[in-house]
Amino acid sequence: MTDLSMMGAAELAEGYRSGDLSPVEATQAALDAISEHDEAVNAYVLVDSEGALSAAAESEKRWRGNSPLGPADGIPTAIKDILITEGWPTLRGSNLIAAEGDWSEDAPSVARLREAGCVLLGKTTTPEFAWKGVTDSIRQGVTTNPWGADLTSGGSSGGSATAVGLGMGTWSVGTDGGGSVRIPASFTGTTALKPTYGLIPHYPASPFGTLSHAGPMTRSVRDAAAMLDLLTGFDARDWSAMPTPTSSFLEGLDDGVEGLRIAFSPNLGFVRNDPEVEQAVRAAVQVLVDAGAVVEEIDPGFADPVEAFHVLWFAGAAKVLESYPEGSLDRIDPGLRRCVEQGRELSASDFLDATAVRMDLGLKMAQLHERYDVLVTPTMPIAAFPGGQPSPDGWDSDLWTSWTPYTYPFNMTQQPALSVPCGFTSDERPVGLQVVGRRHADALVLRAGRAYEQRTDWASRVPTLIRNAENGRS
């Protein structure tokens, strides 16, 4: 029998509907996976076993009474510890936040999951205030990877990616201000979508402003589409929230890519990839060609926007600290402190200049999508490196943007961007393929990712830590 903890949401729902499975069994399987693996990977900062099992029992009653709240009723779910959650502290990886407080409100995405009957297991790790592309913090330590407890999970939603990858929750909701769901998805062999900005409401507003998105983190594109259906409900607390979609993202998901016009950029014109990453991504593109897509290798025609991104990001970092008392700089991650200090030196003119770069990049991408339906790139130029490090061994910079050149440009443009697993290095570290679409073309991005997923088995590969645990029990 398939391990319940590694079943997808659709499989679980079908089992609940038929009576062959129960939400209590699935929740217990997720909790058992947490007990087995989390000491090695440190993906959770809070686990509410009692609350989860109680919610699962209520879900089971609804399914037995043929009155589920929907297809996600009873699905074990993890929440990134950036998103406020009623009844649980949201510490954001920081010593500046006290666990005692008025935790009486859900973020919009959490509220939608709770309304759908999802079983909330607990909160997952994040670097302090989600500021960087690896997941470690002074308060909560280092989070590592399903494919090696010595490897980084990536970040900033690394706890969620690792939890999902190890069956410690069927899916999770993360946040992405510069790659924070896609970086760890690539590193952990999982799937994640940064949707069009505003599609998933976000509250309280991120200090990183309109760079920051919430997004589904799953083990399959199908689950990402199903979860997106739940997360997109309008919420008036977000002034920039889009209306609730009138159709499901599952509609047309399996329509394939025959005739789809795909631009493939192996390096965006300015990136150097690890050779094994490039090999895996080129092989993935050939799968799309074989599926009937019309693929053209291109240079998208823009320079690295990293300096403009830094202005926007550092300004946000400085904003983070505004509400905390004097002396707080001495109590935060030293890397975050440097960003805050640089952000405090920026002028309004600097910010407007960076915004102009952002607008020009958005225009270039809009023009590209007049010719191509989607753009395909590597998600990351490298595979996971050792945990607890800010960058790979021998790298020329410790700033996370120096090794994430494929992700932050599309936060600046607010486009949907999906990461799906597309292979492994020779030492079994996952590689990710990124699919980017025009703004509001989330369904098309998911469809392209699904077409690739259906023709490969990367998403179903069993992580090293699970195999090792099974061998230890045999």
Check if the beta carbon of residue 55 is closer than 8 Å to that of residue 120.
Answer: yes
Strand segments (E) across 159-301: 171-176, 191-194, 213-218, 261-264, 294-297
Q: C-alpha distances in angstroms, 380 versus 146, 327, 383, 467?
A: 18, 36, 7, 25
Encoded amino acid at 90, one letter: T
| Per-residue buried b or exposed e for 376-398, using 16+ beta carbons within 10 Å of the residue's own CB | bbbbbbbbbbebeebbeeeeeee
| Per-residue buried b or exposed e for 181-215, using 16+ beta carbons within 10 Å of the residue's own CB | bbbbbbbbbbbbbbbbbbbbbbbeebbbebbbbbb
Element (H, E) at 109: helix 108-115
- Please confirm, yes or no, whether 156 is among the known catalytic residues: yes
Quick one: tokens of 438? 């025009």
Nearest by Cα to 53 from 120, 123, 124: 120
- Please confirm, yes or no, whether 402 is among the known catalytic residues: no
Count the neighbouring beta carbons within 10 Å of the beta carbon of residue 303: 12
Q: Which of 5, 137, 153, 156 is catalytic?
A: 156
Query: Which residue do the tokens 């795909």 mark?
Result: 262
Check if the beta carbon of residue 343 is closer than 8 Å to that of residue 317.
Answer: yes
Encoded amino acid at 131, one letter: W
Residue 391 CB partners (closer than 8 Å, separation 6+): 385, 397, 398, 399, 400, 402, 403
Q: Which of 80, 123, 132, 194 is catalytic?
A: 80
Which long-range contacts (C-beta less than 8 Å, at least 24 apart) are formed by 317-321? Answer: 317/129, 317/131, 317/207, 317/208, 317/342, 317/343, 318/343, 318/344, 318/346, 319/207, 319/208, 319/343, 320/129, 320/131, 320/207
Q: In what order do the strands lie in the sheet with 44-47?
A: 44-47, 119-124, 76-80, 171-176, 213-218, 191-194, 417-424, 430-437, 374-378, 261-264, 294-297
Q: Which of 153, 157, 172, 180 is catalytic?
A: 180
- Please confirm, yes or no, whether 349 is among the known catalytic residues: no
Write phi, then psi, for 79 (nearest 5 degrees).
-125, 130
Residue 455 CB partners (closer than 8 Å, separation 6+): 287, 290, 291
* Rounded-to-integer distance, Cα 383 and Cα 258, Å: 30
Check if the beta carbon of residue 202 is closer than 8 Å to that of residue 183.
Answer: no
Encoded amino acid at 137, one letter: S
Tell me the catalytic residues.
80, 156, 180
